[in-house]
A and B are shown apart, each in its own frame.
Chain A
Amino acid sequence: MTTPLLSLQGLTKAYPGVVANDQVSFDIGEGEVHALLGENGAGKSTLVKMIYGLVKPDSGTMLLRGQPFAPAEPRAARADGIAMVFQHFSLFDALNVAENIALGMENPPKMSDLATRIREVSETYGLPLDPYRTVGDLSAGERQRVEIIRCLLQDPKLLIMDEPTSVLTPQEVEILFETLNKLRAEGTSILYISHKLEEIRTLCDHATILRLGKNVGECVPAETSARDMAEMMVGSTLQTPERSGRDFGEVALDVSGLSVPSPSEFGTALRNVHMTVRKGEVLGIGGVAGNGQDELLGVLSGEITTAADAIKFNGQPIGLLGPTTRRKLGVLTAPEERLGHAAAPDMSLTENALLTGSVREGLENNGFLKWAETKSFAEKIISAFDVRTPGPENAARSLSGGNLQKFVIGREVLQNPDVLVVNQPTWGVDAAAAASIRQAILDLAAKGTAVVCISQDLDELMEISDSFAALNEGRLSAPRPTTGLTVDEIGLMMGGAHGMEVAHV
């Protein structure tokens, strides 16, 4: 057998209170696309950070082509041919592509030489990209190309990609896969991190599955069913949320001709958004991140006010009303950003329960706070949504992301809203908790709540929503019934390949 490109042997890394990686061993062969699969918090990120030199393992060894490999910092890892594309891009919006790439280089060549190199590499790998375009104007898919090209300029032996498709439309995913296949054909190995099983089945040669920091199994994705892989990831059988056939009532939320200027320079303006949601209906809103999701939530929550008639609740214009008044009426929202937006990090869960619950739960009396009632409301959320915490007096930031998400969603669901708008309700939540959050949303809809679910997880939207629309550069496509929608149609609603061309090579 040939020596693998990278061999991990018994890697262990512990943080206070948690073992992120426990004796993880596997090999990545030359020219292999190796999937690293696992739920949020399974230890995937820690593992790749060790390979990339960002984190030092407590014990265990790595061998690169048979030689001991212990990068002390990312620069050393890059020198040995390891490159990484992070999930969150580190690009400066105001600079152009070439300048951004030059910033990450040790000894950047002259700008014109660099631009030529960028053109060469981008054409070779089917990633057309103009080096002189400003990054702020690029779509998420194009930004990812910048990151990939930045890596390819180093001529890497191993390319690590962390959740690369989470920001792409289905069409853009296809283009990315062509590039990755070409890289593989040239002998570059790829370590591909994801929890999207169908992608891994199409792309990857091998998969290593992590659960709670341990390597719990390996498989050949093409020969394993998605369900089997999912159960290896979760360690138990999965429960899919149930939905019963529902009858919709009258229109509860009516948005028409809603246009909102962008609140910040690189934000997205909403342009002429129309949608109606009936009682008991779940409207799923898909779209690549940064296409107006935050702005839409802000304008529905009342943080951004707009023309009175643009938003109507049960026929009543509410566009000019602030968050408190809207809550009183029954329009509740849960933003995507948990720490700092949906919850105050350093405040206790009790105080965070008060944050949105004061009006509907009657937690104040002429402005004076009822702490006892607030505490029992917090406790109710904690027990109803299985939030893992020692008690409501703990600070929000002490909770793990998934637990805080359960708290934030639970806080709104338990207030019996007439309209509920959620943004990324299961982001960063483990599969079991995600299923229970989705079930709670469906139960709420069954009781007659009109739900708007903004999400980048298409599987989630297909699972829970009755109709589907997509946000693309601040425009909302016309909502269509979910049943019968194909992936291609969804991709086109999301803006297709965002004008990205495919170079055929």
Chain B
Amino acid sequence: MIVLEKRPQPSKAWSYATPLVAVLATMVFGGLLFAILGKNPVEAIGTIFWEPLFGEFAFYYRPQLLVKGAPLVLIAIGLSLGFRAGIWNIGAEGQYIMGAIFGAGAGLAFYPLDAFYIFPIMVIAGAFGGWLWAMIPAFLKVRFGTNEILVSLMLVYVAEQMLASVSLGLLKNPEGFGFPGSRNLQSYDSAHNAELIAGSGMHWGVVTALIAVIFSYVLLNRHMLGFHIRLTGEAPRAAKFAGVNPARLILFCLGLSGALAGLAGMFEVSGPSGVVSIDFNVGYGFTAIIVAFLGRLHPVGILLAGGLMALTYIGGEIAQSQLGLPAAAIQVFQGMLLFFLLAFDLLTNYRIRAARSEVA
């Protein structure tokens, strides 16, 4: 019989090794899945992980990695702070949408004025939109003790309705021949989140994501507030004893994660996407939850996990088009990654021991 034995303290080695082991296990079992679907597993795995980075068309896919990875990292960093403190913002997708609506709305309000201050205003408006949307679950939790998981999640669907509404009404392109969707911000220079170096994929959202990583690292490791966040997650009673005000922490964590998700939405709508449309959101807010955990809620880990996740997205698309893998198989593949991560995570705190079976 196999028994789990609690380690006296968490194993450092395993906490670094689990993401790698999880990726390897995903490759093995994902390969098995692809084999059952009648595809060559080595080729499929190779396409997903190799093609985007070093394949023939890597010059096109590499910038895409930044474009896809940046919003994931930006959102996941915000979420990780709350998750560390045991505050579960599941509604980043909604905050992302609201950030995009507010950001694009602010920019379009100036159309067709050409001024340097328009883009900074849009950044602030986007962050504000996300913050405002996250403040709803935060306020309800602090004031009435509601569950932030449910409230923030439900607000995603409200935000999607708002998105549909503004795409068809308030922000609809007057010169769009009646099609839903706003003016394309890519063709409005003052509001365009353009690539900083042409062809690199590097836009302001990527820069902000990197700043957020550094900010979060300093906060968690060098600042009292970060210490209080970690303390609250580890031992809420001890945090109260240390003088942490739980309500203030909830407002801070939800507010910050909302603002960062809003920023991600704003950078997306003003850059790679360009238009506010009904199908604007593609699930970054939910995938970022996986990214946050895959990165072990650690800023640097999240940076790497965001890159890995973007890789499986892009690689998955290539595998779909080149090998004819069904989209669902790719999603299962991504789900496996989180599953194995959580499963192997157990080894950080427990060790597996073979035990003589004892008579029950």
Contact = CB atoms under 8 A, between A and B. Distances in A.
Contact of B223 (A302, A339, A342, A367): A367
B223 A347 contact: no
Contacts of A344: 231, 234-235, 238-239
Contacts of B358: 56, 72
B238 A395 contact: no
B210 to A, nearest CB: 21
Interface size class of A (residues with CB under 8 A): 35 or more
Contacts of A250: none
Contact of A355 (B5, B225, B242, B360): B242
Contacts of B225: 367
A79 to B, nearest CB: 15
A397 B241 contact: no
Contacts of B237: 337, 340-341
B243 A345 contact: no
Given A73-B360, A344-B235, A346-B234, A324 B243 contact: yes
A179 interface: no
B234 A335 contact: no
A341 B235 CA distance: 7
A453 to B, nearest CB: 18
B10 interface: yes
A499 to B, nearest CB: 32
Contact of B238 (A56, A343, A371): A343
Interface in A150-198: none
Given A56-B358, A347-B230, A347-B231, A397 B8 contact: yes
A341 B239 CA distance: 8
A322 B243 contact: yes
Contacts of B241: 301, 303, 323, 333, 335, 341-342, 355-356
Interface string A355-395: 11010000010011101000000000000000000000011
A345 B8 contact: no
A327 interface: yes
A347 B234 contact: yes
B359 interface: yes
A346 B349 CA distance: 10
B245 interface: yes
Contact of A322 (B230, B234, B238, B245): B245
Interface residues of B, number: 24
Interface in A251-293: none
B143 interface: no
B222 A368 contact: yes
The dominant DSSP class at the B interface is helix
Contacts, number: 80
B360 A72 contact: yes
A72 B222 CA distance: 52
B243 to A, nearest CB: 4
A351 interface: yes
A324 B240 CA distance: 10
Nearest to A335: B241
A106 B176 CA distance: 76
Contact of A398 (B8, B231, B235): B8
Contacts of A301: 241
A307 to B, nearest CB: 19
Nearest to B237: A341
Nearest to A348: B9
Contacts of A342: 238, 241
B217 interface: no
B220 to A, nearest CB: 10
A358 B239 CA distance: 13
A445 interface: no
Nearest to B225: A367
B224 interface: yes
A347 B234 CA distance: 8
Contacts of B359: 72
Q: Could you say which of A343, A346, A394 has the most chain B C-beta atoms within 10 Å of its C-beta?
A: A346
A325 B242 CA distance: 11
Nearest to B218: A368
B157 to A, nearest CB: 35
A369 B242 contact: no
B227 interface: yes
Contact of B10 (A73, A302, A340, A395): A395
Contacts of A72: 358-360
A369 B9 contact: no
Interface string B221-256: 011110100110011011111110100000000000
Contacts of A339: 235
A301 B36 CA distance: 62
A149 interface: no
A138 B237 CA distance: 27
Contacts of A337: 237
A369 B8 contact: no
A354 interface: yes
A9 to B, nearest CB: 21
Nearest to B234: A344
A398 B9 contact: yes
A152 B231 CA distance: 46
A307 B235 CA distance: 27
A49 to B, nearest CB: 14
A345 B227 contact: no
A327 B243 contact: yes
Interface in B306-360: 358-360
Contacts of B230: 347
Given A72-B359, A347-B234, A303 B224 contact: no
Given A72-B359, A345-B235, A346-B234, A323 B10 contact: no
B242 to A, nearest CB: 5
The 8 closest A-B pairs by CB, nearest first: A324-B243, A323-B243, A395-B9, A344-B235, A398-B8, A344-B234, A341-B237, A398-B9
Given A339-B235, A347-B234, A369-B224, 19 more contacts: A56-B358, A72-B358, A72-B359, A303-B240, A323-B240, A323-B243, A325-B243, A333-B241, A343-B235, A344-B234, A344-B239, A346-B10, A346-B234, A347-B231, A356-B242, A364-B224, A368-B222, A395-B9, A398-B8
30 contacts: A16-B5, A56-B358, A72-B360, A303-B240, A322-B245, A323-B241, A323-B243, A324-B242, A324-B243, A340-B237, A341-B237, A341-B238, A341-B241, A342-B241, A344-B231, A344-B235, A345-B234, A345-B235, A346-B9, A346-B10, A346-B235, A347-B234, A354-B227, A367-B223, A368-B222, A369-B224, A371-B222, A394-B9, A397-B8, A397-B9
Interface of A: 16, 56, 72-73, 301-303, 322-325, 327, 333, 335, 337, 339-347, 351, 354-356, 358, 364, 367-369, 371, 394-395, 397-398
